[in-house]
Structure 1
Amino acid sequence: MEPLDPREPRQLGPYRIIAALGEGGMGRVVLGLAPDGRLVAVKQLHPHFVHDTGFRERFRREVTASRLVSGAYTAAVMDADPEAETPWLASVFVTGPSLREAVDALGPLPVGAVRRLAAGLAAALTEIHRAALVHRDLKPSNILLTADGPRVIDFGIARAIEDGHELTGTGSIIGSPAFMSPEQAGGGQVTAASDMFSLGAVLVMAATGQGPFTGTAAAQTLYNVVHTEPDLTTVPAEIRVLAEPCLAKDPALRPTPEQVLDFLGRAPASAAPWPPAVHARIQQQDAEVRAALSLPLPAWRPPPRPPRIWLRWAVAGVVVALVAALTTAIIATRGPDDPGVTALPMTEALTLDRLRRVDPCQVLDGDFTADLGTLEPESNPIQPNRCYYSRGDGGDGIDFELQLGDPVPNGDVGQANRSAEGMALQRMTFSGGCDSLVLLPTQPQLHVMIYNATKAGDPCAIADSALSAALTRLRTAEVDRPADPASVLPLDPCALPDAAVAEGALNGGKPRVKSLRTCEWVNGSNTLTVEVKRSLYVATGETIDLGGGLTGEKSETGPSSCRVTWQHRLLPDGDAEYLSVGGNGLDGGNPCEQVRTVVGSILPKLPKPQ
């Protein structure tokens, strides 16, 4: 708990603000006092995100999700105003350190406390999933250890189980690498089973002090989550039997929260669920709160009256003039000194057909600019259109992801007032750091982006420099994958199904590009999606015969929905190239058979696997 800055307001909505509690990437949390005397934790969106429509929408969704959950192991929402000048969310204040703080300061929890933690988290997930939500960010810093059990907080990236809406494009990854599921890390379909994977990782961390997939960098951790088995060598046997089933790569093999509770049985009566040192920290926080309340409380002051209408228009005029002046001063960002042999104009370098041939881990592999130094790509990227880079000399602050042909999030993009290779750079801050992107000339709903979540140094300068170098490099043939006639990665997903068959499955509809390797047919609210993928392939559904000795997996998510996935070929590194066709709102009575018909029109167009 920290004192407030003297310049800070002491009133937020109906709550008098007493002290600062903490700060995260999206906002800060302060301690407030309600008019009826109850203490509240008030979360505020950071000022620099207030005018970012993407972050405001994400905050609205957090408010909606938080209000749907009111179980004993979550912090109940009391009030919120997502439309305020500075959006805020007030929930019941509970004292207690986060699981991350407790383990870092006091060491791993004993077996009995971890079992109590597992029971509380399973109960919380039961309520969350009962509200048709997936939390998607269950991690130690989002779990408070209170005097009577754990509390799950922060629904900032939760979403409805049946809601297809995403704040980022298809395949974008949001969450905490060490505690997300393989399907979330790979940009796949995230269900309630994803939270159970996170639960398993949290229990391992609580029992040992570190997660089961922790690597030396975020990229390595993500690779471990998708490709490797969890490290459970130091996990006590009583906890391993709980955590290991949750960490199954196949979501269908993970237990439900109810099954975890059944396995644990009735918890023994105990007034102190945690080790004495944790309860001592809880008592210390209680004392700090009482001390803060003993000081003179700030007087309530009504909010200032809005400015007169003429003043409002005068201010607006100044802002418009300032924006106009800024937009005329666009700075050219310098490209690499030695990019290789350039050949293609930018309009050809950024076509979909060309980008499908590009290996993103070749684009910035090496030393191209003095400010970035020598960049090293990850060894085995999770997705074929993305690659993590870090500075190979051990320097701080250089750790970002290059993304090719992903969708642009609605409302998140602003002007950077910079250019590179004749392309106007755009700015996005969804990563929490600073991102730089350009829109594809022929498909402006897609982008090439440097996703820079790090805050060290000047994040925007790093992102702009890396993107400028990437654009120059994309004009060379040196970044293309070696020709491979057996690969499906260069194929256009919109051209794969027979047009009449695809339209027939939806009773109409035309194809539209959704991402570099995803095409979608839409007819009203009904959709048909074709995706070409490369990653770890895990069979997650019922086997379906596709003909010619080929089988795939089908999963039905409703009476008119079905998805069929099949492996094209296994690769030497253990990953696979595979395809997926999903239909939603199909009216023929047997959606899987309709999807199977679409698959049948695709198979003859695929290269022969080797």
Structure 2
Amino acid sequence: MKALVAGDPATVGRYQVFAVLGAGGMGRVLLGVSPDGRLVAVKQVHPHFAHDPGFRERFRREVTTSRMVSGAYTAAVMDADPDAPTPWLASVFVPGPALSEVVTAAGPLPPAAVRHLAAGLALALGEIHRTGLVHRDLKPGNVILAEDGPRVIDFGIARAAEGDSELTRTGSIIGSPGYMSPEQAQSKPLTPASDLFSFGALLVMAATGRGPFTGASTPQTLYNVVHAEPDLRALDPWLRRIVEPCLAKDPAHRPAPADVLRELGPIEPVASPWPPLVLQLIDEQRARISELLKPPSRRRRYAGLAAAAVVLLAAGTITVVSLTGSDSPPAAAGAPEEPVVTATNPDPFGPDNLRRVDLCRLLDGQDVPGLGRLSTKDGSALDSCFLENAEGRSLELKIGRSLLDSEAGGDLEGLPLTTKGDGRDCEAAVAVNGFPDSTLGTEVHFAVPVADACTVAKDGLGTAVRQLRAGGHDRELPPGTLAALDPCALLAPAEADRVIGPLRNTVHQGLRECRYEGTGTLSVKLGKGFPPSITRQLAGVKVSLGQKNNEEGQPGCALAWQHRQLSPREGENVELLLVPTGALTVDQACEKVQQAGQALLPRLPKP
């Protein structure tokens, strides 16, 4: 969930919106409030759909039918406007994480939870099919784990993108490759039986952590869906009896939702069917919504993504620094007026957790096939660790953006895997949740070519992923460290406006860098390295100030200083780089970047 940024709409139809819940192939979803105070999820379809002559009529027809669905296990459609410049649909907001998020964070669901999931989804599909709809995109991301059971979302929308739309004329398929039916993969007419195939694939993923047809690439996955038989040997017998007929290639051989419910039998009532992590995520989601709903004049003083607070973890305690969003100059460093605690994201593959994890502890002392037992060789960097075996062969575990040019490599511990390499070198990586340009990966290099370099890299990464999920590998954070800070939480929007305004967007560049985009760009980077050359003082701090080009070669002005000394030659550093556009000169950029530095300095922990 992200706060709105400059340029986002304040209202959609009669709904006031205040956060972005997510985005996908059809559009993005905003969190809003109806006139009667109910929370709603407002889906705005991508603008290019609005230019398709038949889309609006199909959208109108599907929305009308969708509003007839009112089952207990769906998020009911409340409203829509097919004729708006950007068509939208509003449904009841259901607090809870997506199934995909839970499995990524905690691994497969326990059998009792899978049983409740199967029953809820079968009831939801029965209600959807009763109205004549076919969901068409039943996948883990479209199943919300609410407190009392699952909820199916986004039904009745994918059909509107089919037909004569430009999207399908270009040869694309509407749906998610690992969960679509064979007939959908072949662009054949769909019946409700198509959703039962997706239902079966989804249950396999929930129970094992991976889909039954996931291949090394999208074409391979689609081939598997149409031609390959799934390996169901890992499923409990009761679950296999349900899933196997659902995954029949012939739609006529698949059961109906009522047949699935009969096979399941009575479901024992429980207070909550889910693992504890789900309830924790729901509580944190509600807390974040509560903060975002506060009046803007107060919300700017609180943690949240619009004007966040910085949570510092030091020696096992939490220190909280409030960030002001007022238009007045920042006050001197000291205790904040209204301390606010922001909950960190418990997702082990999320940025909050990865900033605190000691990567060396994930693999130090672990046995990796092809290498044997590893020990730490160099753990001085924040986001990488070099480990080696008894023969001196090394493996690097790292977080960064260097693996983005790699190839799809199938599935690793339920996560999409990418690999890159040859017989001597290989890298393997999985994504950092919420950061599409960042990865957690391993790299191996052998002095002579070996046949299994990529297997070794994948095995090492798999071990790290399992250790990360298990928890208990946080680094020891000394007082004053920058290691746990979110760089995008160091300037409030009003302060960025004064430097590069009007602020249009705030973008994470990996774990340690944030880019504020407006009239020009301002980057805030935290890291380790040699101390900058001192040229002057700013607010009592020795700093470096001067011209510097960004990665694209554009000239700007950089302000940098050492925040905390680690050794005579190395420290934790802060760098701000402002690249101007238009009439602003580099000299003027140097004046502006010092304004940003003055606002940011009081927000840093005292070293």
TM-score by length of 1: 0.46
TM-score by length of 2: 0.47
